[in-house]
Homo-oligomer: A and B are copies of this chain.
Amino acid sequence: MGTTSKALSLLDFFSRKQPLIGLSALSRLSGLNKATTHRLLGELADFGMVEQVGAGRQYRLGPQFLRLAALREHNVPMRESASVLLETLANQTCETAHISLLHGQTLSTLSFAYGAGHGTFVHMEDAEILSLHATSSGLAVLAFSPADFVASVLSHGLTAHTSQTQTNSEAIRAQLADIRSTGIAISVGGFEEDVYSHAAPVFNANATCIGAMAVAAPVSRMTPDLSQRIHGLLSESARHLTRQWGGFPPDNFNTKIDPQRGPK
């Protein structure tokens, strides 16, 4: 592993829950020597990728990312184009629509939109972390990911976020087969109680699955009829997004779904 990778890997320890990390802690987390960590952080800081905050000289992510993200988004408006589709989807379903991208072994939420017409919604936040085995989005991604990746994810500890989280890897593998045939993943209360969500995979130009689009509703509002509608609208939106992002589905992804009745 190159020096640059080590430096960049430090950035991955910062999260919503842990926005501030001290030198020693980061050294421990990364397994790198304290002197090495210090030097790498210094280089990252020179570039505005981390910054030190007064009190305990702790580190946090720097302002540089705002600039680079704006530049990236200007060149490749992924977030913008996704947002437009999500707004439509949220309005059509009157529920929360979101899109999350694969990053390592978790999903990170890129954008979301709330529907209208109800008093309550499934809540979402930008950069929220979703686990692969416990969310519909995660299952959708796993279903279209390489076998070794799936094996790696399922072999690590499958944390139970709720009482309904499926932690049996064989049961999950069975679900993945279903998802591959329908093109839609479903999860009920696996990540948060009372959330019923549908998800469809999104692919890049190499036909690799890079994330998933999802619609999440309170369990109490889900009916076979609504599920049917979401199924149709969601798979259409996800396919649309794949195209907009310059990607295309892999050969094992059946694009010829009858919108009236679902596949098979």
Task: Say yes or no: B66 contacts A110, CB within 8 Å.
Answer: yes
A24 and B191 CA atoms in complex are apart in Å by 46
Task: Say yes or no: B61 contacts A79, CB within 8 Å.
Answer: no
Task: Say yes or no: B63 contacts A101, CB within 8 Å.
Answer: yes
Among B46, B67, B79, which residue has its beta carbon within 8 angstroms of that of A101?
A: B67
Task: Say yes or no: A4 contacts B108, CB within 8 Å.
Answer: no
A174 proximal to B (CB < 8 A): no
A14 and B65 CA atoms in complex are apart in Å by 14
Asked whether A74 and B4 contact (CB < 8 A) given A67-B108, A103-B67, A205-B54, the answer is no
Closest CB of chain B to A256's CB: distance in Å?
26
Task: Say yes or no: A3 contacts B5, CB within 8 Å.
Answer: no
Q: How many residues belonging to A are interface residues under a CB distance threshold of 8 Å?
A: 49
Among B8, B39, B48, B126, which residue has its beta carbon within 8 angstroms of that of A47?
A: B8
A73 and B74 CA atoms in complex are apart in Å by 18
Across the interface, name the chain B residue whose C-beta is closest to A210.
B63
Task: Say yes or no: A69 contacts B71, CB within 8 Å.
Answer: no
A214 and B240 CA atoms in complex are apart in Å by 40
Task: Say yes or no: A5 contacts B205, CB within 8 Å.
Answer: no
List of 8 A-B pairs having minimum Cβ-Cβ separation, nearest first? A69-B69, A70-B127, A19-B75, A4-B7, A65-B69, A4-B43, A61-B72, A70-B126
**Besides the contacts A4-B4, A5-B43, what 11 more A-B pairs have beta carbons closer than 8 Å?**
A2-B3, A5-B46, A7-B7, A54-B205, A60-B75, A61-B68, A63-B76, A67-B101, A67-B127, A68-B69, A70-B127
